[in-house]
Amino acid sequence: MNANAQRFRRACEAKAFDRNHRAIVAKNTATYHAAVARGLARFADWETARRRAAAVKWEVMNHLDHYLEEFERNVRATGGHVHWAETAEEATQIVLSLARQHGVRKAVKSKSMVTEEIHLNPALEAAGITVLETDLGEYICQLRGEPPYHIVTPVMHLNRQQIAETFHEKFGTPLDATAEELAGIARERLRAEFLAADMGITGANFAVADPGMIVLCTNEGNARLTTALPRLHVAVVGIEKLLPRLEDLALFWPLLATRGTGQFLTVYNTLVGGSEPLHVILLDNGRTQLLADVEQRDALHCIRCGACLNACPVYKTVGGHSYGTTYQGPIGSMITPHLRGWPDWSHLPYASSLCGHCADVCPVRIPIHHHLLHNRRNAVRQRLDPPLQRWMFRVWLWGVQSARRYAIGGRLARWAMRLGLAQPLARAWTRYRDLPDPPREAFRDWWRKHERA
């Protein structure tokens, strides 16, 4: 087992029966599910909406070259700048060189998973630039020195008390501060920073090809301040974020808000058009590898709403930090091997009960759990499966290809279980669960006796 898989396993062992963690996540996801139920009720026909959205995304992904160039042309035509980055390192270098050119010492950031993906904050800090997260959740993550726990709700794993403790440690605020007071403290501290910052860094919820604009959705208005106040705005955008036309937002805005938080629309929806201070960095970082895989290309339809995480029994059990990935939960387990390499990440597609709840809630109809199956097959094709397991399946296949061998094998297994001989093999099962009592005869034995009688 590789180091990542071992680390994942240890993290899961530590979290799975942490009742405190489970209670907080259960409470937060229950609030979310209630809001989503109300949100879905606002759609006349949710199924048609997601089919339409999937069709739009299909069109983009299958003509991505066209839409990316159209986007670039349109941003440039109105005075903005477009940079192309094949890797995380390239994207980071572009940000750093822009910062140098503009004499940047302080940067503010609006919430962005793609900048987590390229590890931008440590790179900026190493270059002597102060970076401040301005989304409240991300701000709390930054104060605690933790990565986001969830792609939409970064501190879903914390309750008010834990956040109050963090603020108390950092700022000496009262331990019994209310949520409103905590938000007030953050707002006060952040306002000054917005005004002092030289550079605003954002991702993009969407990038519209015509006209060339990036779209930012926040509930706190922090993206507006991040893009408007500093003299330079750099947006790091994954190439899968493209939408063809402005009209598509009429569908994608409510789709994202409904599945993201249960809101009909996110509170602040900001369009940033090509203008002098805007620099868009279009990032590949493995995405074109996924694009080349026709079978799984639709994983690039993902609009990062986080719904599959909230639906996932595994995510809710092990928590967002256990994955060790930028993108957690079902979609993360699906895309991470593609983006970051199979040998190190092929354990993630196996960490799923394949319940399929993720695919049911996905607003762009990505069959995530089927892709997890494809990933498992791909891992086996690359011989990343444990040799013992491969050998066991070969023996098993030989056994079940004959009803006679199968019946003998079954009888031996039941006999071994009755005598307790199977216990060492069944330890993984019996640590928490009992095994059924093995019956003396199989159904086929009963049938043979009764049908002959």
Partner 1 sequence: MKVALFIPCFVDQFYPEVGEAMVAVLRRVGVEVCFPAEQTCCGQPAFNTGYWEEARTLAKRYCDIFDRYDAVVSASGSCTAMVRNFYPELLGELRRASANTFEFSEFLVKKLGVTDVGAKFPAKVTYHDSCHTLRELRIKQEPRALLRAVRGLELIEMTEAESCCGFGGTFSVKFPTISSAIDEVKCQSIVATGAQYVVSVDSSCLMQIGGWLRRRKLAVGTKHLAEVLAQT
Q: Contact, 99 vs 199, CB < 8 A?
A: yes
The H or E element containing residue 124 is helix 120-126
For 191, the 3-state DSSP assignment is: helix
The dihedral through the CA atoms of 322, 327, 328, 333 has a sign that is: negative
Instruction: Say how many residues touch partner 1, by CB under 8 A.
Output: 60
Nearer to partner 1, 273 or 438 (CB): 438
| Minimum distance, C-beta of residue 283 to partner 1, in the bound complex (Å) | 30
Q: What is the DSSP string of 319-376?
A: -GGGG-SSS-HHHHHHHHHHHH-HHHHTTGGGS-----HHHHH-TT---HHHHHHHHH
User: Quick check: 47 binds partner 1 (CB under 8 A)?
Assistant: no
Q: Length of the chain in residues, anyone? A: 453
By CB under 8 A, name the one of 77, 126, 373, 421 that touches partner 1.
373
The dihedral through the CA atoms of 17, 20, 22, 23 has a sign that is: positive
The dihedral through the CA atoms of 145, 151, 157, 162 has a sign that is: positive
Q: Is 275 left (phi over 0), alpha (psi -120 to 50) or beta?
A: beta
Q: Which residue stretch of 48-56, 273-281, 330-338, 390-398 sits at the interface with partner 1 (rule: CB under 8 A)?
A: 390-398
User: Quick check: 7 binds partner 1 (CB under 8 A)?
Assistant: no
Nearer to partner 1, 245 or 405 (CB): 405
User: Quick check: 210 binds partner 1 (CB under 8 A)?
Assistant: no
User: Quick check: 383 binds partner 1 (CB under 8 A)?
Assistant: no
User: Quick check: 403 binds partner 1 (CB under 8 A)?
Assistant: yes
User: Quick check: 341 binds partner 1 (CB under 8 A)?
Assistant: no
Angle at 210 between CA 83 and CA 135, to 5 degrees: 60
DSSP state of 379: H
User: Quick check: 396 binds partner 1 (CB under 8 A)?
Assistant: yes
User: Quick check: 421 binds partner 1 (CB under 8 A)?
Assistant: no
Q: Which residue stretch of 45-53, 120-128, 250-258, 348-356 sits at the interface with partner 1 (rule: CB under 8 A)?
A: 348-356
Q: Contact, 109 vs 203, CB < 8 A?
A: no
User: Quick check: 401 binds partner 1 (CB under 8 A)?
Assistant: yes
Nearer to partner 1, 272 or 379 (CB): 379
User: Quick check: 81 binds partner 1 (CB under 8 A)?
Assistant: no
Nearer to partner 1, 19 or 101 (CB): 19
Query: Which residue in this structure is represented by tokens 């498992």?
Result: 376
By CB under 8 A, name the one of 98, 209, 216, 314 that touches partner 1.
314
User: Quick check: 441 binds partner 1 (CB under 8 A)?
Assistant: yes
User: Quick check: 389 binds partner 1 (CB under 8 A)?
Assistant: yes
User: Quick check: 17 binds partner 1 (CB under 8 A)?
Assistant: yes
By CB under 8 A, name the one of 38, 51, 394, 449 that touches partner 1.
394
The residues, ordered by sequence, that sit 6+ positions from 391 with a Cβ below 8 Å of its Cβ are none
Nearer to partner 1, 128 or 431 (CB): 431
User: Quick check: 356 binds partner 1 (CB under 8 A)?
Assistant: yes
| Rounded alpha-carbon distances, angstroms, from residue 121 to 81, 97, 126, 139 | 22, 14, 9, 13
Name the pairing type of β-strands 106-109 and 130-133.
Answer: parallel
Residue numbers at the binding site for partner 1 (CB under 8 A): 9, 12-13, 16-17, 22, 313-314, 317-318, 350-357, 359-360, 373, 376-380, 385, 389-390, 393-394, 396-397, 400-403, 406, 410, 413-414, 428-429, 431-436, 438-439, 441-448, 451
